[in-house]
Structure 1
Amino acid sequence: MKQQLVFATNNPHKVAEIQQQLGDRYAFLSLQDIGCTAEIPETGRTLEENARLKARYVVDHHGRDCFSEDTGLEVYALEGAPGVDTAHYAGPQRNAKENNDKLLSALGDRKDRLACFRTVICLVQNGQEYFFEGKCDGRIATYPTGDGGFGYDPVFIPDEGNGRSFSQMSTEEKIAISHRSRAMVQLEAHLKKQSDVARPTA
């Protein structure tokens, strides 16, 4: 039987990426799947705080162990912005095109376009909290390219992408190097270790 994991998101792109990465070993339940329709507040000042807030909300209000992630695009020339405001950089509407347009406008014709994507996962399991972090270094393009992915993928060119944006890569290629997948590898290792400990011996 597949192990069920509640993932505190309603973003189908994130669920699909993680499901593809972990395959058939786990069955993911989204917020919608467990009947959580609330707009969970993300009032933390760091990615770690926001990830914890979302995971704790599910545990406290729905009684389910849960993991949550918060991801930030950190552009060094902009002093780390958008950072914790990545999803709503251009406003509460969380519009990807508007976020990308604002970012490109903020950078203008700067030569220094180095950036990184960072994902922090918070898992609340049996009352304990665990944190896992993944990072992908790269730079911001001068204009969007590609048709795939979501969010800032059209303007983020990872160092390991042979000059292509995330949007120009297949899902498999992105998973191999992305910040989220690197954090998920650590989560998966933790879950496997916990499962091995819990498994009865002959």
Structure 2
Amino acid sequence: MKVKKQVIIATKNKGKAKEFEELFSALNVETLTLLDLDNAPDVEETGNTFEENATIKAEAISNMTGKIVIADDSGLVIDELDGRPGIYSARYAGEHKNDEENIDKVLLEMKDVPDKKRTARFFCALAVSGPNMDTMVVTGKCEGKILTERKGANGFGYDPIFFAIDPGKPMAELSSEEKNKISHRAAALNNLKPIINELFYR
């Protein structure tokens, strides 16, 4: 069988796209995103979980393109906020999806919460879908806590207010290389590797 070395990542988020490109380069797989496709739709996320939303996106884009597609749905889960912002992480402060406003909202809601109760995690679900195959989903997480103020200038999303337990630094102070070793997306991708190897190199 001819070796397949290209996969579509179902995202228009440039930050996510860059992380996937870096992560997949080690697997010798070329990544395209929805930014590379003409008239790529914005798939409505109607699921109630990260896993459901990732599956909806992967299957929709795979059906449209006829190619193997990986969709990510990820977000920040804060224990003190009963799991919020959760699946609404990108649009927590409104449908316009503004990172800074999302951070401001979380900091405001957490302003009187003591350090020991600021536990949180980044969670990622990856769904892989393609022609003549059942959709498969894997997950990954990164444990941490919510800082009381922004720290660091790297990353995107909630990274400036997330302190990663391992390696014991704010996420936004990590280099791309450091983040790709410990992030929720890296953990999910690690769980996806056996599936990728089977799909592309069987």
Q: Which residue of 2 aligns with 1:150?
A: 156
Residue aligned with 1:119, SS: strand
Residue aligned with 1:48, SS: helix
Q: Which residue of 1 aligns with 2:71?
A: 68
Distance 2:39 2:76 in 1: 27
Normalised by the length of structure 2, the TM-score is: 0.92
Counterpart of 1:131, as a letter, is V
Q: Which residue of 2 aligns with 1:134?
A: 140
Equivalent pair of 2:76/2:86 in contact (CA under 8 Å): yes
**How far did 1:33 drift?**
1.6
**How far did 1:128 drift?**
1.2
Q: Which residue of 1 aligns with 2:34?
A: 31
**How far did 1:94 drift?**
0.6
Higher relative contact order (CA 8 A, sep 6+): 2
Equivalent pair of 2:166/2:182 in contact (CA under 8 Å): yes
Mapping of residues 154-193 of structure 1, within 5 Å: 154-162=160-168, 164-193=169-198
**How far did 1:2 drift?**
6.6
Gaps of 5+ in 2: none
Mapping of residues 38-77 of structure 1, within 5 Å: 38-77=41-80
Counterpart of 1:103, as a letter, is V
Identity among equivalent pairs (%) = 34
Equivalent pair of 1:74/1:116 in contact (CA under 8 Å): yes
Distance 2:12 2:161 in 1: 23
RMSD (CA atoms): 1.5
Q: Which residue of 2 aligns with 1:99?
A: 102
Distance 1:190 1:60 in 2: 19
Normalised by the length of structure 1, the TM-score is: 0.92
Counterpart of 1:74, as a letter, is V
**How far did 1:65 drift?**
2.1
Gaps of 5+ in 1: none
Match of 2:123 among 115, 118, 123: 118
TM-superposition CA deviations, 1:61-88 (whole Å, max 9, x none): 2222211010021100000000010110
Residue aligned with 2:67, SS: coil
Equivalent pair of 2:24/2:31 in contact (CA under 8 Å): no
Q: Which residue of 1 aligns with 2:12?
A: 10
Equivalent pair of 1:2/1:27 in contact (CA under 8 Å): no
Runs of 4+ in 1 over 6 A off after TM superposition: none
Match of 1:82 among 74, 81, 85: 85
Residue aligned with 2:44, SS: coil
**How far did 1:195 drift?**
4.1
Distance 2:146 2:109 in 1: 11
Equivalent pair of 1:55/1:66 in contact (CA under 8 Å): yes
How many residue pairs align between the two structures?
196
Judged with a 3 Å threshold, the aligned counterparts in structure 2 of structure 1 residues 65 and 34 are, in CA distance, closer, same or farther, namely: same
